[in-house]
Structure 1
Amino acid sequence: MFNLLIVDDFAIDRQNVRVILTDFNEIINIVGECGNGKEALEFVHENNVDIIISDIEMPFMNGLELAKNINMHFPNIKIIFCSLYDEFEYARKALVLNAYGYILKPLDKEELFKCLMSAISEIEESAGLKKEFDKLKNILENSKPQLLENFIKEILYSEATDEENMWEKAEYLESKLEKGFFKLVYIEIDEYESLTEEKTVEQKQFFTIKVNERFRDISVKFGGVPIIMLDDSHFVYIVNSSICCSVNEKCTDFSVEVVEKFKLSDISVTVSMSDICENISDIRNLLQQCMYLMRYKFILGNGKVIKTGDVPSGVDSC
């Protein structure tokens, strides 16, 4: 049903519209009558109206002034003008105001029907588009966590250098990244193959999910972007701060906590910490650095935090 408001300063004309609309009572619901544009504007502020059938010549506020206000404040309401005056200027102004018809009195039922169908068709189309838009928007909102994870992986692996575009994505996805300083924490589950060699595929998935959830619990405590699983045994956490010393401190505290927490379980992890960079597009270099550092765990041992100063010749920073 579509809600329709009749606006005319003559009661007899309003009644005539009602009589004609009795043939449309299955699709049209007459929600009210008003004697002028001022009353009509007040009515639509308080009631749900889809279509207005309005006279033009009325006291206090005429139909054209009403249409201007409706277009400004209620653009979804469709207006059909009716008038005794067959004047080109009125018709031209009605066209400018996006009216769905300019019908002369006495009203012709067929002509009114065509105008109503045109208005209803656009209302339905707009409603369908809005429904589809809301559906897509809801899907997009629900997909944001996955989109954010994909974006972090893009930062880690992509050679893109368009900083502005990357920051726009970061803001849209509510990544919690901020301009400043970046360090990377790279985590490897020690002896993953031997830990999972006797497990079924399903058991391996449960194992990885359990470990991933433990990492996420720790990362939530430190805030920032979520920890990202690169594969079943490797995870990455981007540490970010606008203050250089803060990013160093946060990175160290996070890395130590990860190692210590897992020492309390039957799983050992080794962590490598990168140097600092100041561009989001350079974070991919930090990942390469961390992976290089991780190679030294076979010399330094499992269950440790490895920094650039721990390797014999050091590693170039970004």
Structure 2
Amino acid sequence: MYTILIVDDEQLERQALRFIIEKQCPQIRVVGEAGDGANAIRLAAESKPDIVLMDIRMPEMNGLEAAKGIRALLPGVNILMLTAFDEFSYAKQALTVGAIDYLLKPVRPEELLKALGVVMDKIGIDRSRQEEEERLRQSVEAARPFIQMSFVYDLISGNIGGSATFQERSRFLGLRVDPHLALVVDVDDFKKLTVHSSELEKQMVKQKIYQVICQAVGDLAMVTPFGSDNVIILLGFAETVTAELAKQSAKKLAATIRETIQRSLSISITVGIGRYYEDSREVHKSYHEALNAQRQRFYLGDSQIIHIEDVPFLGDVPFHYPFQHERVLLDKVRCGDRKQAKQELRNLLEEIFATKTSIETVKACVLELLIVLSRSAVEGGADLERLTLLNLECISLLNRCTSRNEVETWLIGSLDQFLDNMLENRSSMNTRVINKACEYIVKNCQRNLPLEEVAQTVHLSPFYFSRLFKQEKGYNFVDFMTKVRLDKAKRMLQEPDYTVVRIAAEVGYQDASYFCRVFRQAMNMTPNQYRAENRRGETMLQEQKEHGKKLTT
């Protein structure tokens, strides 16, 4: 639907024009009529028509003047001028004031309809273009947070390009002021606070924090969520300021944000602040300073506001790794002494933390220590393959540690896992070793088999093998050898063709008399008595079977 305003000082002319339009152009609605230029401007402002059909020759304010006034109010309006043949010179002026066409009076209906058709086509094209522009505008507006995030990322990474590129992107985002200083806001122990929360609940908390920060900074900064629980603030200043004034303003802003979040959400935050840089393209330096300052929470604790200039330069602090504690620690791990190993580990970490070195250096040290501990655990009997998997899992957890307590808890927990694996694997490994030794003894019991030979087959020292054998089996090596030989002798005594002398030799006794003494001491009977008892038992068993058969028949 299109709307039109008819302007002519002759009422009959207006009525004729209205009749033609309403009769022949149902898609055009007449929204008003005016008999002079002043009323035309007033009605146009009220009804905002798509088309104005206006006579040039009118009293007081003519059509040209009225067209200028309407065009000033409605720049997109389409004006068709009506002029008499003898006023043709006015038609040229009409085009200069924004009329899209003119018609000669008296207007014939077909000419009017043709002109209106052209105007409607133009309006349709304009509307389509406006709708497309609106869709694009809405798309850009919807993507604005991502466009700003990209801009911020390029700023903090130092990849913003030249001054012209920076200014163009800044204007596109409509920034009131250019950024000169960075703040990094980090939620203290966010993962612990939300450990039992759903992902939706976590995102809602982050959104609330983001909203509080946006309200606090107003339009003087860009606020962008970054990483898992960080928010970056790139702060600008409406007027030129000194570095000291910028520092105090940033601290004041950080305090306001911290107190507001603590009061409204009961959440603790730490804010790192970088230096002020006059050239906004150097704000990436401020960001890295703010990040380093914020990481000093590792030593200072939670709920801090830390400006980089308030942090001692870490490069001036000499770092000496406490190797003396490490050596003692590794010895305790190899021996499986859990209590002493933990105590030495705490002593070592206390020495590392006392240097006040950067969190990156601390993590590098404890990561290397983790590897050394795992080697000691393997030397103590841990399963290398399982320990490798534990290491990979531990390393991923280390990246999430943000305080010294978290690092200490992480490393002691890793030590516990190593020791558990070592002791568990050592027990199963010992069982396998002794079982292998027992198999060797059974196969070779017919000859003189010294303990040293058996220990050598399982790659252990005779002393350690003897102690381990007693620990696993409950009796010593000699007792087990005797048991194996007698068990074999008892099986052979069940065969009538084997003499006692031969049996003694077969089970490792060259002296048959000594074999008989050993056998009698263990079984409370001689070998021949054992054979006779065994035969009687077999005879009785056979008789019982035959008796059972008779009963069944």
Output the TM-score relative to the length of structure 1: 0.70
Matched residues in 1 for 2:185 and 2:41: separation? 63
How many residues matched? 307
Partner residue, 2:503? none
Preserved CA contact (<8 Å) 1:81 1:101: yes
Larger deviation, residues 134-143 vs 283-292? 134-143
CA-atom RMSD, angstroms?
4.5
What is aligned with 2:445?
none
Contact 2:210 2:225 in 1 (8 A): no
Counterpart amino acid of 2:205? K
Which of 1 and 2 has greater Rg?
2
**1:152 corresponds to 2:148:** no
SS at match of 1:310: coil
CA deviation profile, 1:126-161 (whole Å, cap 9, x unmatched) = 333334434444554455455444433332123225
**Structure 2: tracts of 5 or more residues without a match:** 318-553
Tell whether the 8 Å contact from 1:7 to 1:34 is kept in structure 2 after alignment.
yes
Mapped to 2, the partners of 1:76 and 1:266 lie a distance apart of: 54
Partner of 2:312: 310
Tell me how far apart the structure 2 counterparts of residues 155 and 61 of structure 1 sit (CA, whole Å). Answer: 58
Match status 1:236 vs 2:237: no
Match of 1:274 in 2: 274
Cα separation, partners in 2 of 1:8 and 1:162, compared to 1, 3 Å: same
- Provide, for residues 242-301 of structure 1, a one-character-per-residue CA deviation record: whole Å limited to 9, x for no partner: 343343335446379859x88xx9988765443443322112123334455667666x36
Deviates more, 1:250-259 or 1:57-66: 250-259
Residue 23 of structure 2 aligns with which residue? 23
Contact 1:296 1:311 survives alignment (8 Å): no
Q: Hey, what's the Cα distance between the residues in 1 that align with 2:270 and 2:14?
A: 82
Rate the CA distance shift 1:310–1:271 in 2: closer, same or farther, 3 A.
Answer: farther
User: How far did residue 233 of structure 1 move?
Assistant: 4.4
Match of 2:505 in 1: none
3-state SS of paired residue (1:110) = helix
Residues 33 and 123 (structure 1), Cα distance of their counterparts in 2 relative to 1, 3 Å cut = same
1:116, distance to aligned residue in structure 2 (A): 0.7
Deviations, residues 208-252 of structure 1 (Å, cap 9, x unaligned):
653564476367446653653321144434455534334333544
The alpha-carbon distance between structure 1 residues 164 and 186, as it changes in their structure 2 partners (threshold 3 A), is farther
Distance between the aligned counterparts of 2:266 and 2:104, measured in 1? Answer: 87
1:256–1:305 CA contact under 8 A, matched in 2: no
> Greater strand percent: which structure?
1
Q: Deviations over 1:8-49 (max 9, x none)?
A: 344443343234334235223334444444543444344443
2:248 aligns with 249
User: Which residue does the alignment assign to 1:76?
Assistant: 76
Q: Which has the higher helix share?
A: 2
Counterpart code for 2:78: K
Deviation at 1:85, TM superposition (A): 1.6
Overall identity of the aligned pairs, in %: 24
Aligned amino acid, residue 80 of structure 1: L
Alignment of 1:116-127 (within 5 A): 116-127=116-127
- C-alpha separation in 1, matches of 2:96 and 2:256: 69
Q: Which residue of 2 aligns with 1:187?
A: 186
Where 2:85 maps in the other structure, the secondary structure is coil
Equivalents in 2 of 1:18, 1:222: separation in Å?
58
CA displacement at 1:185 relative to structure 2? 3.5
State the SS of the aligned residue for 2:278.
coil
For residue 205 of structure 2, what is the aligned residue in structure 1?
210
User: Residue type of the partner of 1:116?
Assistant: L
Structure 2 residue 110 is the aligned partner of structure 1 residue 115:
no
Q: Distance in 2 between matches of 1:18 and 1:270?
A: 72
Q: Report the AA paired with residue 8 of structure 1.
A: D
Instruction: Say if 2:85 and 2:104, in contact at 8 Å, map to a contact too.
Output: yes
Do the aligned partners of 2:7 and 2:36 also contact (CA within 8 Å) in 1? Answer: yes
Q: 1:198 to 1:100 in 2, by over 3 A?
A: closer
Q: Is the contact made by 1:274 and 1:289 (CA closer than 8 Å) also made in structure 2?
A: yes
* Pair 1:113–1:288, CA change in 2 (3 A): same
SS at 1:113's partner residue?
helix
The 1:216–1:153 alpha-carbon spacing in structure 2 relative to 1, beyond 3 Å, is farther
> Which residue identity does 2:129 align to in structure 1?
L
Shifted more, 74-83 versus 207-216: the winner is 207-216
Report the alpha carbon displacement of residue 110 of structure 1 after superposing the two structures with TM: 1.6
Residue 60 and residue 240 in structure 1: after superposition, are their counterparts in 2 closer, same or farther (change >3 A)?
A: closer
Report the residue type matching 1:313 in the other structure: G
Give the letter for the 2:181 counterpart. F
Deviations 1:57-87 (A, max 9, x none): 4443444444344444444333333444266
Q: How does 1:45-194 map to 2 (within 5 A)?
A: 45-85=45-85, 89-141=89-141, 143-160=143-160, 162-163=162-163, 166=166, 169-170=169-170, 173=173, 177=177, 182-185=181-184, 187=186
Distance 1:164 1:24, change over 3 A: same
168-177 or 277-286, larger mean C-alpha shift: 168-177
Distance 1:258 1:279 in 2: 28
AA paired with 1:245?
A: E
